[in-house]
A = this chain, B = another copy of it.
Amino acid sequence: MELLKKRILKDGIVINNSILKVDNFLNHQIDTKLFNEIGKEFKRLFEGQTIDKILTIESSGIAVASFASIHFNYVPVVFAKKTNSSIIDENVYTSKVHSFTKNTDYIIRVSKKYIKDGENVLIIDDFLANGCAALGLIEIIEQSGANVAGIGVVIEKIFQGGREKIEKRGYKVNALASIENFDDNKIIFK
């Protein structure tokens, strides 16, 4: 998506050849006009597929998923909640996710009421890096008996291996901007 790539080049800041800061338009300040175009692009990429629901993860996935929903005929958005607590609640699906950035594990939860057997669920998130968050969402959908209709991410950092892990599980990833690598803190798109 050219508009997005241009914006990343304009406003993205690379730190230590591994972190891309895009809080100017993506995950602290939100450029909602751009997000609407992002939603449109996801619709184009998953055209023809039945999507009953969009699943994302708090916090920065929520706005992306919301704008995508508009273009998927306003299907409901469900966002997984992050928590450190390991209290067992039989009314929720859970999955453990490792955060490399914070070097800690957290549990994500989705109420069993909101993902149902047989539904076609599209996963949407802002970033795909090592894939842990996306795999956590996949596990929750698998537990529920619903189908993973696809995985759509705004920005992918290919060199961190997330796509490979997800494709090995048999699912398809669509990224709007794929970063091959950082070279001297410069962004190299695929």
Contacts and interface: CB of A to CB of B under 8 A. Distances in A.
Nearest to A63: B66
Contact of A28 (B74, B75, B79): B79
24 contacts: A23-B111, A24-B114, A28-B114, A29-B111, A29-B113, A29-B114, A30-B76, A31-B76, A32-B66, A32-B69, A32-B74, A32-B75, A32-B76, A32-B77, A33-B74, A36-B74, A59-B62, A59-B79, A59-B81, A62-B66, A63-B66, A63-B77, A66-B66, A66-B67
A70 interface: yes
Nearest to A114: B29
Nearest to A68: B32
A78 B33 contact: no
A62 B58 CA distance: 10
B36 A78 contact: no
A35 interface: yes
Interface residues of A, number: 29
Nearest to A77: B30
Contacts of A59: 58-59, 62, 79, 81
A78 B26 CA distance: 10
B76 A36 contact: no
A24 B113 contact: yes
A28 B78 contact: yes
Contact of A63 (B24, B29, B62): B62
A66 B30 contact: yes
Interface in A18-66: 23-24, 28-33, 35-36, 58-59, 62-63, 66
